[in-house]
């Protein structure tokens, strides 16, 4: 004895998401059944339909867009001399929300991870090099996560750029705002000390 | 600057679920975009379509079904002399999974809640009384939650049945398995003491 088929299927779909277990999936399925108007369901279905069809990477930077070029690449008022390199489109959104950067981006769509068989040719490094042929670009800022893969990828890109006139920089790593030294991990503390500045 | 429209819409749909905030909704939307195959999306859409169309209350007990009568009511091997009254269909599923009951059910679809303007006529009490005209039924077991509304509803139904020959019982309330007396709330402790039995 369990749920009717359609309800079971909906529960299974919710369980495909990270962190959603059976109980939560059931809760969402019941919420859909009892609280969603037909219009809400139609909206949900429509957005699921559209998301795979319309959303694609920007031809230039790789950021998600529903056009051939994303709004950031289109914006000529932005500083065209800087390209900030990130792992994912989400990183772009988060940095944009922080309003701390006004140059261009480049989304790698991953990092070099030899243990998972992901090499430099599997991420968008080649399109980055092509963009760097443009004379406007003066600086490449690496904003990769503080992980073995992030370090490997940063090192790899930095080495490629050593032969060029481009300035290659990295964002700072250290103790985050609200972070507690007593609970910080070894890598963060190491980076925080290594990156110390004169007061 | 934010997400492309279709992605924003999908994030909004996820945010309509209880406990899903912006960050989690974004995570699910990205998961849909990056990890779902077209087939997974088609399944999800199909189940959303079907859930509102196919799932309806059982004509007899009110439990969710995709047929006119639910599998429990159809099962003639079940004890037809007992009806266990619950608030929601989820309660039926949970009790079924516990394999601690083999009679019939009646889903009230809510509880009497005067503060929210929900009276006895707004929940499925009338269909319950109609079912009780059947001579097979000997016992009505009230399995409502331990809340003011649950108590009110139980009291109301019990009063209606006082005039009949039916046995009206309530499930036991008290300290749950794994529950810690040191952290138990006043109502649970009160019920646990009130319901104490001879050793």
pLDDT digits (tens, 9 = 90+) for B106-157: 999 999 999 999 999 999 999 999 999 988 999 999 999 988 999 999 999 9
Q: CA-to-CA distance for A191 and A108, rounded, in angstroms?
A: 23
The domain ranges of chain A are 5-54, 78-170
Q: Which two tokens stand for residue B144?
A: 């409502």
Contact (CB, 8 A) for B83 and B134: no
How far apart CA A34 and CA B52 sit, in angstroms, is 9
Span A35-60, average pLDDT:
94
Q: Is A16 on the interface with B (CB under 8 A)?
A: yes
Pair B34, B10: CB distance under 8 Å: no
- For residue A85, the SS3 value is strand
- Give, in words, the CATH class of B64-170: alpha beta
Q: How far apart are CA B78 and CA A33, in angstroms?
A: 28
Q: Within 13 Å and on the Cβ side, how many CA atoms surround A38?
A: 3
CA A71, CA B90: separation in Å to the nearest integer?
Answer: 46
pLDDT at A9: 94
Q: Which of B76, B55, B52, B74 is nearest to B65 (CA)?
A: B55
pLDDT-derived band at A180 (thresholds 50, 70, 90) equals: confident
Q: Do A93 and B2 touch (CB under 8 A)?
A: yes
CB B125 within 8 A of CB B108: yes
Residue A97, pLDDT > 70, answer yes
Pairs of CB atoms within 8 A across A/B: 137
Averaged pLDDT, B179-194: 82
pLDDT-above-90 percentage for chain B:
73
**Tell me: the pLDDT tens digits for B14-46?**
999 999 999 999 999 999 998 999 999 999 999
User: Is it true that A5-54 and A78-170 share their CATH fold?
Assistant: no
Kindly state the average pLDDT of the residues A64-77. Answer: 94
B6 interfaces chain A, CB cutoff of 8 Å: yes
pLDDT on residue B187: 84
The answer for A 67-96 residues in CB contact with B (under 8 A) is 71-72, 89-90, 93, 96
The whole-number average pLDDT for the span A154-168 is: 93
Question: For residues A82 and A37, is the Cβ–Cβ distance under 8 A?
Answer: no
- Note whether B47 contacts A16, CB cutoff 8 Å: no
Written as six digits, the tokens of B173 are 């309330």
- What percent of chain B has a predicted confidence (pLDDT) above 70? 99
Q: 3-state SS string over A23-66?
A: HHHHHHHHHHHHHCCHHHHHHHHHHHHHHHHHCEECCCCCCEEC
For residue A1, pLDDT over 70 is answered with no
Mean pLDDT, range B81-99, rounded to an integer: 91
Tokens of B67: 């047929």
All residues of chain A having their beta carbon less than 8 Å from the beta carbon of residue B55 are: 4, 6-7, 33
The answer to whether A164 contacts chain B (CB < 8 Å) is: no
> Residue B107 CA to chain centroid, in angstroms?
7
Local confidence band at B176 (pLDDT 50, 70, 90 cut-offs): confident
The pLDDT value given to residue A149: 93
Q: Is B107 left (phi over 0), alpha (psi -120 to 50) or beta?
A: beta
Give the nearest partner residue to A13 out of B44, B52, B71, using CB atoms. B44
B5-54: CATH number: 1.10.8.420
Query: What is the CATH code of the structural domain delimited by A78-170?
Result: 3.40.1360.10
The mean per-residue pLDDT over the stretch B59-73 comes to: 94
Evaluate if residue B105 carries a pLDDT over 80. yes
User: Average of pLDDT values for A123-147?
Assistant: 93
CB-based contact, A4 to chain B, within 8 Å = yes
């Amino acid at each position: 004895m369990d749920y009717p088929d359609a309800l079971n299927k909906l529960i299974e779909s919710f369980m495909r998401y990270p962190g959603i277990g059976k109980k939560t999936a059931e809760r969402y399925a019941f919420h859909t059944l009892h609280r969603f108007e037909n219009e809400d369901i139609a909206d949900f279905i429509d957005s699921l339909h559209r998301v795979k069809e319309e959303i694609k990477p920007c031809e230039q930077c790789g950021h998600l867009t529903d056009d051939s070029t994303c709004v950031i690449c289109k914006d000529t008022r932005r500083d065209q001399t800087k390209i900030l390199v990130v792992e994912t489109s989400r990183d772009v959104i988060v940095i944009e929300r922080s309003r701390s950067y006004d140059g261009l981006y480049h989304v790698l769509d991953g990092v070099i991870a030899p243990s998972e068989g992901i090499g430099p040719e599997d991420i968008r490094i080649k399109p980055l090099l092509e963009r760097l042929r443009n004379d406007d670009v003066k600086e490449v800022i690496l904003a990769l996560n503080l992980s073995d893969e992030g370090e490997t990828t940063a090192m790899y890109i930095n080495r490629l750029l050593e032969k060029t006139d481009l300035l290659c920089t990295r964002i700072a790593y250290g103790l985050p705002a609200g972070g507690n030294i007593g609970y910080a991990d070894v890598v963060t503390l190491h980076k925080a000390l290594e990156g110390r500045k004169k007061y």
